[in-house]
Structure 1
Amino acid sequence: MTPSDPTGLLTELDETVQLVDQTGRRHPNPDYDPWVADVDAAALARLYRDMVIVRRLDAEGVALQRQGQLGLWPPLSGQEAAQIGSARALRADDFVFSSYREMAVAWTRGVPSAGLVSEWRGTAASGWNPYEHNMAVPQIIIGAQSLHAAGYAMGLGWDGSDAATISYFGDGATSEGDVSEALVFASSFRAPVVFFCQNNQWAISEPVGLQSHQPLARRADGFAMPGIRVDGNDVLAVLAVTRVALERARKGEGPSFIEAVTYRMGPHTTADDPTRYRTDEELAAWRERDPIARVLALLDGLGVDVAGLEREVAAEAADAAAELRAACIGLADPPPLSVFDHVYAEPNSHVDGQRERYARYLAMFDESGTEASGRVEGGAR
């Protein structure tokens, strides 16, 4: 029992799907082992590589924000297994609807470095073309992406496609009306969607135990869909349960709800100070459940040269971080009036009027940024 879990229910893992424990020991599971039978040592090493690289990219994102190169950054450290395990279960034609924290998912979908940071640097309204990566741009409005995923999935069903959608959101979003509405629609129309909740224990500064006195996966019962609770720091288990949920969706059996029990090791965003609401003891306890360390321990037990693997992947991660930094700093500021270019697909007189007024405002300034028509020292005109 911790301050973030006053009921003692939400960090218990004994009722949770777990294939690899925090020591790296593999636990046989007749229900889920067949779903990861293809994951040999080489495949595990690739999952390890994924997680190490995205953790390094995340650290670089934090550093760039602290250095004034980004306006904000939402860290994902600690949640690598939840994001990589689920994302690697997807097919290329599945469509992703994420919140603002799923940088790792975007990375697996092939989003380039500049796309990962352009929104946070303020040089673009969105980081990438959704149809190039089958992933919508990050949703800032809490839980809204769940409705988008349900609607898109309904369309897939009507089109006769066996593709699926997945919606990522946090534990706090489960208290939003949008998520409940999405669950209703998905259940009613048996939409091929996976609702993937990353229970990272904190909705900004509010503990998950405050909004739910039972595991979040049980909320699925009220919507007539299966709720699966998985150790979100076990990449193999996450891969397995996501594959199960996706298979149900493809077979026309409707939506599933996955609760991945994990932990946000850093702040909610770089504008947050988590020391104000959680303890060092809690942080240390979750550090023992590190998702990357347990995969490395499992690989060591399988006889893999983990020292060599660590060196190789660390070098690759460093290169990826350098590429992210160069891409970020190399982003050019867009022309000021371009902010109006893609508000609507078709011309819109209201937006045109805003553009004209803003153009007149900009015309008041000379090239140095001072007002061309005069100014008052020490105050406004």
Structure 2
Amino acid sequence: MTAETLRQQTVDRLLPSLDPVRFVAADGSAVEAPEGYVAPPDDLLREAFARMVVGRRFDAQASALTRQGRLAVYPSSRGQEACQIGAVLALRERDWLFPTYRDSVALVSRGLDPVEVLSLLRGDWHCGYDPAAVRTAPQCTPLATQTIHAVGMADALRRRGAGDVVLALVGDGGTSEGDFHEALNYAAVLRAPVVFLVQNNGYAISVPLARQTAAPSLAYKGVGYGMPSEQVDGNDLVAVLAVLSRAVERAREGRGPSLVEAHTYRLEAHTNADDPSRYRDEAEVAAWSAADPLPRLETYLRGRGVLSDAEVAACAARAEEVAERLRAELAVEVLGDPLELFDHVFATPTPQLREQRAQLAAELAHGAEGAEEAGGR
């Protein structure tokens, strides 16, 4: 074997498939299984469907609560559930997940309390849950900064020899950030057990993918760092789970990181503050709606005879229970203490922090006294 042949084989192992990996067509029919991949078992796919139903209902309820003023903001992930639930099911309980602000459905699917998941979006100062207890990092709003954190955690796990894996979620807009590229390079050099899942929904808020990169696909960005890459139909949960499971096991075996690009679509606005009609047309949304991952998986499972009407009804009932609890618990006003702004900034507060805290405490006390006097007149 010549050196040139060896180099070419190495490059070929890093390159993604020419077309996104797919097991299920947009209409729910099965397609020929892609080479090198095995479909997940039916019982796991039924569990994925159940979680997807709950996730879709959670997302709709959170959006409604935002319109009612119960949440400060909510970034919907409707249409991207196959990516988020596929990511969660590819992991073990001890593995770590590093989400973005749009990945609330992933957190709910991972078993986190739905009310706690929304704490940050209510305007609270903390993420609502204990990251160490649930092996899930806080949802990250700054683009791609969580990818660096994910690699750091993965390297720590590698050094401990725990056999645990980290999965970092990131959007297509995040791939244009320097943190993303630093994370890929850092992970590849250290052979860290981390998988990067890019949810490419076509837009960084309103900026289309063509304005972000000239690469044939985002998956090719891994090749430059010596990292195997793959692209997958992000609305096909069967394919997402198959691809991610292989990447996760590769990392668990000590063979280093992987980059996976999932082609998907955000059916709703970027957030409640966004007007998507300014940058995309109804025909585009309709085309992607026809490839909606939820009915797509349901049709596929029904066609295989492994999903019944009773199971679908039970999933819907469970989803309504989650929505009802959200409505009830988020209707309760939370009275925050402004002085908590200064807690947990440093282990030992600096003189400046102590001074600022005292100043705010005095202003609050003065305001309370004024309100009390006004009430007495």
TM-score, normalization by structure 1: 0.89
Cα distance change on mapping 1:370 and 1:73 into 2, 3 Å: farther
2:353 alignment partner AA: V
Query: What SS class does the counterpart of residue 264 from structure 1 fall into?
Result: coil
1:16 — aligned with what?
20
CA-to-aligned-CA distance 1:145-184 (integer Å, 9 cap, x gap): 0000011111111111210111111001101000011111
**Structure 1 runs of 4+ with >4 Å offset:** 367-372
CA-to-aligned-CA distance 1:15-66 (integer Å, 9 cap, x gap): 0100111121223234111xx45x12x3322211111111110111111010
1:241 alignment partner AA: V
CA-to-aligned-CA distance 1:241-266 (integer Å, 9 cap, x gap): 11111111111111100101000001
State the 1:355 CA deviation.
Answer: 1.2
State the 1:364 CA deviation.
Answer: 2.1
1:268 — aligned with what?
270
What is the rounded CA distance, in whole Å, between the counterparts of 2:129 and 2:61 in structure 1? 20
Q: Which moved more, 1:299-308 or 1:225-234?
A: 299-308
State the 1:369 CA deviation.
Answer: 5.4
State the 1:367 CA deviation.
Answer: 6.5
1:89 aligns with 2:90: yes
Cα distance change on mapping 1:296 and 1:14 into 2, 3 Å: farther
2:4 — aligned with what?
none
Contact 2:96–2:167 (8 Å) recurs in 1: yes
CA-to-aligned-CA distance 1:215-248 (integer Å, 9 cap, x gap): 0000111010011100000111111111111111
Q: Give the fraction of aligned pairs with identical amino acids, expressed as a percent.
A: 41
Query: What SS class does the counterpart of residue 93 from structure 1 fall into?
Result: coil
What is the rounded CA distance, in whole Å, between the counterparts of 2:193 and 2:47 in structure 1? 28
Contact 1:263–1:286 (8 Å) recurs in 2: yes
State the 1:370 CA deviation.
Answer: 8.8
What is the rounded CA distance, in whole Å, between the counterparts of 1:190 and 1:371 in structure 2? 66
2:36 — aligned with what?
31
1:242 — aligned with what?
244
Question: In structure 2, which of residues 287, 290, 297 is the aligned counterpart of residue 288 of structure 1?
Answer: 290
1:145 aligns with 2:150: no
Query: What SS class does the counterpart of residue 364 from structure 1 fall into?
Result: helix
Contact 1:191–1:249 (8 Å) recurs in 2: yes
State the 1:304 CA deviation.
Answer: 4.0
2:109 — aligned with what?
108
CA-to-aligned-CA distance 1:244-291 (integer Å, 9 cap, x gap): 111111111111001010000011111111011100000000001010
Q: Which moved more, 1:241-250 or 1:334-343?
A: 334-343
What is the rounded CA distance, in whole Å, between the counterparts of 1:239 and 1:345 in structure 2? 41
Higher helix share: 2
State the 1:14 CA deviation.
Answer: 7.1
1:350 — aligned with what?
352
Query: What SS class does the counterpart of residue 198 from structure 2 fall into?
Result: strand
Query: What SS class does the counterpart of residue 366 from structure 1 fall into?
Result: helix
What is the rounded CA distance, in whole Å, between the counterparts of 1:369 and 1:226 in structure 2? 64
Contact 1:113–1:327 (8 Å) recurs in 2: no
Contact 1:154–1:191 (8 Å) recurs in 2: yes
Contact 2:61–2:323 (8 Å) recurs in 1: yes
**Unpaired runs of 5+ in structure 2?**
1-16
Cα distance change on mapping 1:336 and 1:296 into 2, 3 Å: same
Contact 1:123–1:333 (8 Å) recurs in 2: no
1:325 — aligned with what?
327
Question: In structure 1, which of residues 302, 305, 309 is the aligned counterpart of residue 304 of structure 2?
Answer: 302
Cα distance change on mapping 1:351 and 1:324 into 2, 3 Å: same
What is the rounded CA distance, in whole Å, between the counterparts of 1:184 and 1:103 in structure 2? 28
TM-score, normalization by structure 2: 0.90
CA-to-aligned-CA distance 1:120-166 (integer Å, 9 cap, x gap): 11234222110111001111110000000011111111111210111
Question: In structure 1, which of residues 278, 281, 291 is the aligned counterpart of residue 280 of structure 2?
Answer: 278
Contact 2:54–2:315 (8 Å) recurs in 1: yes
State the 1:113 CA deviation.
Answer: 2.2
Contact 1:232–1:261 (8 Å) recurs in 2: yes
Cα distance change on mapping 1:137 and 1:365 into 2, 3 Å: same
Contact 1:170–1:198 (8 Å) recurs in 2: yes
What is the rounded CA distance, in whole Å, between the counterparts of 1:110 and 1:281 in structure 2? 36
Q: Which moved more, 1:283-292 or 1:99-108?
A: 99-108
Aligned residues: 356
Query: What SS class does the counterpart of residue 368 from structure 2 fall into?
Result: coil
State the 1:116 CA deviation.
Answer: 1.4
Q: Which moved more, 1:22-31 or 1:295-304?
A: 22-31
Cα distance change on mapping 1:96 and 1:346 into 2, 3 Å: farther
Cα distance change on mapping 1:369 and 1:82 into 2, 3 Å: farther
Q: Which moved more, 1:346-355 or 1:295-304?
A: 346-355
What is the rounded CA distance, in whole Å, between the counterparts of 1:292 and 1:273 in structure 2? 24
1:254 — aligned with what?
256
What is the rounded CA distance, in whole Å, between the counterparts of 2:132 and 2:255 in structure 1? 26
What is the rounded CA distance, in whole Å, between the counterparts of 2:369 and 2:118 in structure 1? 28
1:67 — aligned with what?
68
* RMSD between aligned residues: 1.8
1:334 — aligned with what?
336
Contact 2:232–2:262 (8 Å) recurs in 1: yes
What is the rounded CA distance, in whole Å, between the counterparts of 2:172 and 2:367 in structure 1? 47
State the 1:368 CA deviation.
Answer: 7.7
Q: Where do 1:140-289 residues align within 5 Å?
A: 140-213=141-214, 214-289=216-291
Query: What SS class does the counterpart of residue 365 from structure 1 fall into?
Result: helix
Contact 2:206–2:276 (8 Å) recurs in 1: yes
Contact 1:111–1:133 (8 Å) recurs in 2: yes
**Unpaired runs of 5+ in structure 1?**
1-12, 373-381
